[in-house]
Amino acid sequence: MSTFGTHFRVTTYGESHCLSVGCIVDGCPPGMALTDADIQPQMTRRRPGQSAITTPRDEKDRVEIQSGTEFGITLGTPIGMRVMNENQRKQDYGNQTMDMYPRPSHADWTYLEKYGVKASSGGGRSSARETIGRVAAGAIAEKYLREAYGVEIVAFVTSIGNEFLFPPSPAHPTCATNPEYLKLIETIDRKTVDAFLPARCPNDECSKRMVKLVADYRDRQDSIGGTVTCVVRNCPSGLGEPCFDKLEATLAHAMLSIPATKGFEIGSGFGGCQVPGSVHNDPFIKAPAIPPGAIDHPAVPRPRLTTKTNNSGGIQGGISNGAPIYFTVAFKPPATIGQAQNTATYDEETGVLEAKGRHDPCVVPRAVPIVESMAALVIMDAVLAQQARTAARSLLPPLKGVVPVLGGSKEADGA
Amino acid sequence: MSTFGTHFRVTTYGESHCLSVGCIVDGCPPGMALTDADIQPQMTRRRPGQSAITTPRDEKDRVEIQSGTEFGITLGTPIGMRVMNENQRKQDYGNQTMDMYPRPSHADWTYLEKYGVKASSGGGRSSARETIGRVAAGAIAEKYLREAYGVEIVAFVTSIGNEFLFPPSPAHPTCATNPEYLKLIETIDRKTVDAFLPARCPNDECSKRMVKLVADYRDRQDSIGGTVTCVVRNCPSGLGEPCFDKLEATLAHAMLSIPATKGFEIGSGFGGCQVPGSVHNDPFIKAPAIPPGAIDHPAVPRPRLTTKTNNSGGIQGGISNGAPIYFTVAFKPPATIGQAQNTATYDEETGVLEAKGRHDPCVVPRAVPIVESMAALVIMDAVLAQQARTAARSLLPPLKGVVPVLGGSKEADGA
Amino acid sequence: MSTFGTHFRVTTYGESHCLSVGCIVDGCPPGMALTDADIQPQMTRRRPGQSAITTPRDEKDRVEIQSGTEFGITLGTPIGMRVMNENQRKQDYGNQTMDMYPRPSHADWTYLEKYGVKASSGGGRSSARETIGRVAAGAIAEKYLREAYGVEIVAFVTSIGNEFLFPPSPAHPTCATNPEYLKLIETIDRKTVDAFLPARCPNDECSKRMVKLVADYRDRQDSIGGTVTCVVRNCPSGLGEPCFDKLEATLAHAMLSIPATKGFEIGSGFGGCQVPGSVHNDPFIKAPAIPPGAIDHPAVPRPRLTTKTNNSGGIQGGISNGAPIYFTVAFKPPATIGQAQNTATYDEETGVLEAKGRHDPCVVPRAVPIVESMAALVIMDAVLAQQARTAARSLLPPLKGVVPVLGGSKEADGA
Amino acid sequence: MSTFGTHFRVTTYGESHCLSVGCIVDGCPPGMALTDADIQPQMTRRRPGQSAITTPRDEKDRVEIQSGTEFGITLGTPIGMRVMNENQRKQDYGNQTMDMYPRPSHADWTYLEKYGVKASSGGGRSSARETIGRVAAGAIAEKYLREAYGVEIVAFVTSIGNEFLFPPSPAHPTCATNPEYLKLIETIDRKTVDAFLPARCPNDECSKRMVKLVADYRDRQDSIGGTVTCVVRNCPSGLGEPCFDKLEATLAHAMLSIPATKGFEIGSGFGGCQVPGSVHNDPFIKAPAIPPGAIDHPAVPRPRLTTKTNNSGGIQGGISNGAPIYFTVAFKPPATIGQAQNTATYDEETGVLEAKGRHDPCVVPRAVPIVESMAALVIMDAVLAQQARTAARSLLPPLKGVVPVLGGSKEADGA
């Protein structure tokens, strides 16, 4: 189903060549200031055509709120949003070659297997254009999280091909154990990331190497993949629902639902398998009153403990502990390449496919706002679930006697 | 919520020190032969105490079906299952030290943050014992998939610490491009895996190195992580729901919901980011009538095309293409270690924690049946969703005229 | 949440005074012919302004499919639909009186209690305009059910005020025991119902009495309620999910979600409480090969048994038995009346409210297509659930031996 | 699916003749005192064998909590509960006659149509025994609602056959307009209801007439139906989710999911269709500081307005307004009767069925705790949904300027 989330629920529609794409956001808290202008910036960051290393199509992608607000305030009712499809150049897709061949490693063939019918653009809902609804919804979630908790969500490119911002090393099989990396996680912001356009990798030298690498692949009519790392700061503790909806599980779900993704790792990730428990464990320390850089939201619980290291990536036992949550997502090389490919037709005949159209040699930098948006949707849903629990508990009479019950966070309601 | 799946829905209950653990499986097709004996083997494979490298507790873990079957046949109604908790040795947990300290990188602290109350065993639902319900449910799913489609699900250990079955190399930054690896994926079975107990890594030399490595960590009262790779063969094409519930997304969700997991990768995975599109793309070829080793299920659609390579890991555009689905899961080193740890108490005092109790130095081999079970639950849910779609479509009148509609699979119903 | 259904899932958005209203339909089977023209007729039947006894606002209500189809064929992907809001006459709502008073028995006050913010039109999502998305979605469901099974869904007015099409009597405390009523249930069609506009009560004399009654209330600036009965014919057996989602339970849910409804009864209903079991029980008889008037869909199972009477209303144990499903829905008198009403302001001051604007004295006839649409959504969802089950079972090997398993329907697949 | 609720989610298992019946309750707030003793009383009220007019089977129905609590305190994790099946007397069901005939108006035939397999007891999950899990879960919900809000839920019998506690009359086509009825709604408690066992109709004379009526039907080996009315008092305002999950819609769903129900009406109900809007509308008045008989929960919002009359049944626009919520449920005569019935066998042969076994001639009094339990589940789920919304909103910065936003309830948090 094209629905994501339980409490903050997004339903999207639209493929690349129909009338419009859009979504309905249900469960947005009422009483929040919200206009198109809150949503457009991430839409624009997602838009192709921002540089030489992304596709030159000029999609306007103006979002238009249909419902759910009045006088710029959310009503608590479903928020419909729509973005028109323009500049579709159907002729790129409707040509005879494309009709004959399922494109290798694209969704043309599997969509046909699944639905038994075929859109003229192949696997229509697998198009990057489908992500518009996610980004629109994510911008709303993010606004709430920022206003209510001061949450900051920042993604950036950590590798393209074999160019790494933090290459794995024997000393640090996972960059989680590298203090320099943790420092970056704690301080990076979107403005800095965008200053490194088109690569969105916040390091001058590495960024240049990445741009050159992508240009090389583009010139060879080839493509290349990479990784995006995302951090969520000032996230309240207690998020994540045992046992199937652990916070890292819903984050992984969200990230692997983005087109072209191949992997997800939280905190120390795959490299963490090589680190012994005595190093990997994050010892507890007393938390500073207000974490550095955090806005004080007096009504929001702050954990009394934090961890000295953060190999856990801010999540323990599936539940956020208040430390920065960070994770990395792998993106494969785009499947549509200019090079001729030996493959088979729908009718099982062997032949050579030469793709037309304009396509990204590397989608990684453009994936940055999409990763941020999906992270916002996951955190928002988890926040509402946990707020419900805390609110429910706060109405119960206090427990008496000597049961082993201990208060965790300093809480505004004193419960 | 403690529920997984939409069409084949599992709800689990129980923590490590209560009366019993168990689950309810809803949505099992009626008319399938099923008794406790179908479920017990995976329960036993999951059980601790199978070798020197896993925990010596002797949990009996006898599953008992409560409902949903009669005369050994499923009725189509919910199947309740229960496993008693025995041999709990509460004194290991109820000691004074454990009451004072949240264990580093365990769920004690975050459960308290989440719920505001604390079970005597800390993060009770984060215990490995919670996985019993998953394995019981997975065994039912697996039986259906095997009977209906000949699906085979096999997991095995691919690394412990820095011992790799297929170490990454410049030639193969991802083992997906290594023909030897693909061969293993296509042929490995459970009997072979279990022949390599206690490591469950199907290579004699590597297995021995792993056993030694774990023993070293055990002797140092330390722990170590590793990876499990899982393959699903004979899986029908067309599984996975665009756009949020892509098959790799629900697999990632399932895997990251297993305790102690830190990462997931499908097909070429993280290494695939370093491979150019021209290599990474999987060209189409005509499919053999029956894939080698596959049971012929005449009623089951077989795709007419398959791919020459399988960097996609059997999933394209979020939908299965009929090729083997394979993925790898990262497990961190167990958090409970015998070494003394400098940390803080619940009351924010610094101190030294020395954990008691008997715990695994490495959970990776024991995770094998859990990974298989979660894979079975995901595939089963996707199969039922797709069967519903295909059945719905098959009742519509045939489409007339020149619409660009092409038949994918050879289908039994001729639609 | 603004979502209905599990397998055929409708999500709606929009209130009366925003930019547009609409919905997303997810789960529509692929390969079905579908254009705006399939949807518009029910939209038009729902539209106000069709006669003197409904409100004279001329809403155009042109539906426009945004996605999910190509060349007039469903793709299986989400179908977005949109209807612009026009002719809103905000001044009727924005006046000072309406701002001061919550309208009695309207949703103004409860929406404010729920959301803490207030749309200028009061309880925006409780407006009849919200039902547009339901009717659009229902038209799609209905088309599938008709094409796949020959399902016919017809609703009609059975009472307005104390004018009854079949008044309860000592002989028939429930009209379910009245053969004349059952005959009507088995034969009524939409064309006949609309021939009795504006009352939509298929009896000349009763219809005239109803029209006069409504005119009387209108002239007194008052309003009146009534009941709508709906029948679903040629519905396959086996629909409805024990135990919480019995077919009558989801029908009741659907009907009570329509604005202004106060009651629901299935089959013999409330009157059935007065009939002894010996009369109320429906004895089984051998089913005719093809029920009278039914289209033969050779692929569709037909039960071998049917019932002689139909007090059950086509549902037994929560599951459809293949007989006509019929139920009745109660609608209260519209809350907005022209008469002055003594009530209180938002600020707790007593005062007199005189409503402006043009409003229906009786919504019952206009509710007819809404009831049909919600019935279609319920049946469609249940059909997909049951198709999934049947398809899943059909792939299992046949059961051997002497287990007490009996075949029910003649099924096309021979299972 | 056998699951009810979104935030407070109950999943049940078990049929009448398997090992046990039970449920898992997920989403119970942590930190609430809870033991078996909180649940058993309603289990016992539900139990058959309480009087001459209910079935003499002596089911013990001892509930046993499996998980989710420790030291008598809820942990916030899933609560497993189990009740053994005893005294099953399989021979009543396994006889040859029962194997040959689907019982008229029972679920035997439709279960076979649905599942294609047949439990030896016919429609196993349609048995009244299935309601045990509902009652166990409802008792937990009720405890929370009582402790957090002082909610009182009381059901009682309002008619059996044609014996009515408040017979409809020209003056009061709906008893909602009858002040005597409203008085009863506001004051009735469970102790009073049980004082009128076996009829559970709180009127001495009417109760006696009902007992006699049921005895007459029992003596004729026949059966009879009736209605149960239920009131929920001290329910917070703002409950119910527009537009599909209006509070009356989820109540209707819950009630029609109880075996043997045929109808549901909220507030004025079907009779309300005959009352003009000018009478039916509930004018607003200033609310008393604390409603009579209500416990003061200082943290719980109290609406500033209430209604003078209560034809709405405490719900307007699908949302609770703080007034007592009341509704009536119709129960058909039990399908299993001692009289011989002319019907057909599974093999389409006509014949005569004489049922054996001991069965209720009237289930209405015994349905009282089941109706209460389902009401508790609905209200609990709605409460958690609304608490989540209110909590989410309370963290937003206050809205500035002249937007038309008005405060509803006096709220503890001052938002």
pLDDT category, B125, cuts 50, 70, 90? confident
Residue-level pLDDT at B411: 41
Highest mean pLDDT (candidates A114-128, B365-379, D7-21): B365-379
- In degrees and rounded to multiples of 5, residue D269 shows phi and psi of 60, -145
Residue-level pLDDT at C290: 72
In chain D, % of residues over pLDDT 70: 87
Q: In three state form, how does the secondary structure of chain A look?
A: CCEECCCCEEEEECCCCCCEEEEEEECCCCCCECCHHHHHHHHHHHCCCCCCCCCCCCCCCCCEECCCEECCEECCCCEEEEEECCCCCHHHCCCHHHHHCCCCCCCHHHHHHHHCCCECCECHHHCHHHHHHHHHHHHHHHHHHHHHHCCEEEEEEEEECCEECCCCCCCCCCHHHCHHHHHHHHHCCHHHHHHCCCCCCCCHHHHHHHHHHHHHHHHCCCCCCEEEEEEEECCCCCCCECCCECHHHHHHHHHHCCCCEEEEEECCHHHHHHCCHHHHCCCEEECCCCCCCCCCCCCCCECCEEECCCCCCCEECCEECCCCEEEEEEECCCCCCCCCEEEECCCCCEEEECCCCCCCCCCHHHHHHHHHHHHHHHHHHHHHHHHHHHHHHHCCCCCCCCCCCCCCCECCCCC
Closest Cβ opposite residue C396 in set B148, B388, B390? B148
Closest Cβ opposite residue D26 in set B2, B9, B70? B2
- Dump pLDDT digits (tens) for B69-114: 999 999 999 999 999 987 554 544 445 666 889 999 999 999 999 9
Instruction: Outline where B75-130 has alpha helix (H).
Output: 96-100, 108-115
**Alpha carbon distance C176, C271 (integer Å):** 9
Closest Cβ opposite residue A299 in set D300, D395, D404? D395
Residue-level pLDDT at A412: 36
Residue-level pLDDT at C14: 94
In chain D, % of residues over pLDDT 90: 76
> With contact defined as beta carbons under 8 Å apart, do C360 and C129 qualify?
no
Closest Cβ opposite residue D116 in set C4, C243, C393? C393
**Alpha carbon distance B317, B53 (integer Å):** 40
- Dump pLDDT digits (tens) for A355-373: 766 678 999 999 999 999 9
B110 has a chain D CB within 8 A of its CB: no
Look up B106 and say whether it is catalytic. yes
Closest Cβ opposite residue A392 in set D29, D77, D300? D29
C22 has a chain D CB within 8 A of its CB: no
Highest mean pLDDT (candidates B40-54, B56-70, B213-227): B213-227
Within 8 A of D396 by CB-CB distance, chain A residues are: 29, 31-32, 144, 147-148
Which one of the listed residues D7, D17, D253, D297 is annotated catalytic?
D17
Least confident window among A56-65, B180-189, D142-151, D308-317: A56-65
Least confident window among A88-97, B32-41, D207-216: A88-97
Helices A108-115 and B364-394 cross at an angle (nearest 10°) of 60
- Blockwise average pLDDT, block size 10, chain C, 415 residues: 93 91 96 95 82 54 94 94 76 61 92 86 75 96 96 98 95 96 97 96 97 96 97 96 95 97 98 97 90 66 90 97 97 94 94 79 96 98 94 87 47 34
- Dump pLDDT digits (tens) for B256-292: 999 999 999 999 999 999 999 999 999 999 998 776 6
What mean pLDDT is reported for chain B? 89
The structural domains of chain B, ordered by start, are 3-394 (3.60.150.10)
C331 has a chain D CB within 8 A of its CB: yes
pLDDT (mean) for A301-312: 92
A292: pLDDT strictly greater than 70: no
State the DSSP H helix or E strand holding residue B175, giving kind and residue range, or none if neither.
none
For an interface test with D, the pick among A389, A403, A413 (most D C-beta atoms closer than 10 Å) comes out as A389
- Angle C205-C208-C210 from CA coordinates, rounded to 5°: 110
Residue-level pLDDT at C97: 67
Q: Please give the structure tokens belonging to residue B139.
A: 């065994």
Residue-level pLDDT at B404: 46
Residue of B nearest to A310 (CA): B105
- What 8-state DSSP symbol labels residue B271? G
* In chain B, residues 243-262 whose CB comes closer than 8 Å to chain A: 243-246, 248-257, 259, 261-262
Residue-level pLDDT at C53: 54
pLDDT (mean) for D251-262: 97
For an interface test with C, the pick among D135, D216, D264, D383 (most C C-beta atoms closer than 10 Å) comes out as D264
Residue-level pLDDT at A55: 52
pLDDT (mean) for D14-33: 93
Within 8 A of A82 by CB-CB distance, chain C residues are: 66, 82
Residue-level pLDDT at D406: 47
Say which residue, C165 or A303, is predicted with more confidence: C165
pLDDT category, D267, cuts 50, 70, 90? very high
- Alpha carbon separation from D111 to B406, C234, C307, C382 (Å, rounded): 38, 19, 15, 15
A105 has a chain B CB within 8 A of its CB: yes
Query: Which residues, including other chains, have CB under 8 Å from residue A25's CB and lie 6 or more apart?
Result: A8, A9, A10, A68, A78, A79, A81, A136, A137, A140
- Dump pLDDT digits (tens) for B289-345: 776 666 667 667 778 999 999 999 999 999 999 999 999 999 999 998 999 999 999
Q: In the beta sheet, which residues pair with residue D22?
A: D13, D82
* In chain C, residues 159-198 whose CB comes closer than 8 Å to chain B: none
> With contact defined as beta carbons under 8 Å apart, do C292 and D231 qualify?
no
pTM beyond 0.90: the answer is yes
D279: pLDDT strictly greater than 90: yes
**Alpha carbon distance C282, C311 (integer Å):** 7
pLDDT category, D163, cuts 50, 70, 90? very high
Q: Please give the structure tokens belonging to residue A3.
A: 């629905």
Q: What ipTM does this complex have?
A: 0.94
pLDDT (mean) for A199-209: 97
A56: pLDDT strictly greater than 70: no
What mean pLDDT is reported for chain D? 89
Residue of A nearest to D407 (CA): A31
A98: pLDDT strictly greater than 90: no
Residue-level pLDDT at B349: 94
Rounded to a whole number of angstroms, the distance from the CA of C11 to the nearest CA of chain D is 9
Q: A76, C117: Cβ pair inside 8 Å?
A: yes
In chain A, % of residues over pLDDT 70: 87
pLDDT (mean) for A49-75: 76
Residue-level pLDDT at B403: 42
Tell me which residue has tokens 């943790």: A182
Within 8 A of C74 by CB-CB distance, chain A residues are: 117
Residue-level pLDDT at B93: 46
pLDDT (mean) for A309-334: 97
A356 has a chain B CB within 8 A of its CB: no
Strands C79-84 and C3-4: unpaired
pLDDT category, A346, cuts 50, 70, 90? very high
- Dump pLDDT digits (tens) for D165-193: 999 999 999 999 999 999 999 999 999 99
Q: D73, A396: Cβ pair inside 8 Å?
A: no
Say which residue, A401 or D10, is predicted with more confidence: D10
A310 has a chain B CB within 8 A of its CB: no
The CB-side HSE value for C12 (13 A sphere, CA atoms) comes to 27
A189: pLDDT strictly greater than 80: yes
